[in-house]
Amino acid sequence: MRLQGKTTIVTGAGGGMGLKIVEFFLREGAQVAALDLNTAPVKQAFNQADNSRLVVIEVDVTSESAVIQAVQEVVNRWGKVDALVHAAGIAQPATPVEEVTKAEWERIMAVNVTSAFLLSKAVIPYMKQQRQGVMVHIASIASQRPRPGLNAYIASKGALVALAQALAIELAPFNIRVNALNPGPTDTQMLGQFAADGTDSEQTKATVFKQSVPLGRLIKPEDIAHAAVYLCSDEAQMVTGAVFNVDGGRGL
């Protein structure tokens, strides 16, 4: 029970990584607010009526008012926010940069970066009041090892890493830790969406992405969940500003 009693907000909770993070955090004793625009997968995976430590909240993480309302709901329910694991994000089908529209660019930035700013801004006052807290922003190893055609996505994840490190140094005097977690190619539905045709291509997963991982397999959602548990636990109480790669060596 490494997270016993810790109130945690998990965004992107309906995705492959998010669902596994919710599962692991509940198993480790945390109280979890699972946030997503599409809450159906979370409700199907967990029966919140039978778990007093879980609340599922439908929220558009690109909307400041919606984010503030969701965080307030968590505080009203449990009186605090100890941790934020920001897993919300969207992919980009491989696209030559000259073909990326301004609207596509802005959408990727809104979901992958602006949402992190909004969630952080909303939870920080409560963490400052408590004089403790931890945030984990899930970025991507693509921020360090780019692939062709993922220009907007890579830019968004690079910005997310920079934001996490900027917050880490700013919030250290308040005993608030902030880290970036860089998954390598992870075996979720989202992975196939990076294909040039935008489809969930099993061949893309099995060949292009798997072959890019030195350890020889795709990362699993539970690999990411294990890392998130560690970074939010007291075992990592001196870890802040870190860029934590869970990538099977992809970043080498």
Tell me the catalytic residues. 153
| Amino acid making up residue 2 | R
* Interatomic CA distance for residues 233 and 210, integer angstroms: 30
Q: Report the amino acid identity of residue 205.
A: K
Separation of alpha carbons 30 and 26, rounded Å: 5
* Whole-angstrom distance, CA of residue 115 vs CA of residue 8: 17
Q: Report the C-alpha gap between 31 and 132 in whole angstroms.
A: 16
3-state secondary structure of 225: helix
CB count within 10 Å of CB 106 equals 12
Helix (H) or strand (E) holding 137: strand 133-138
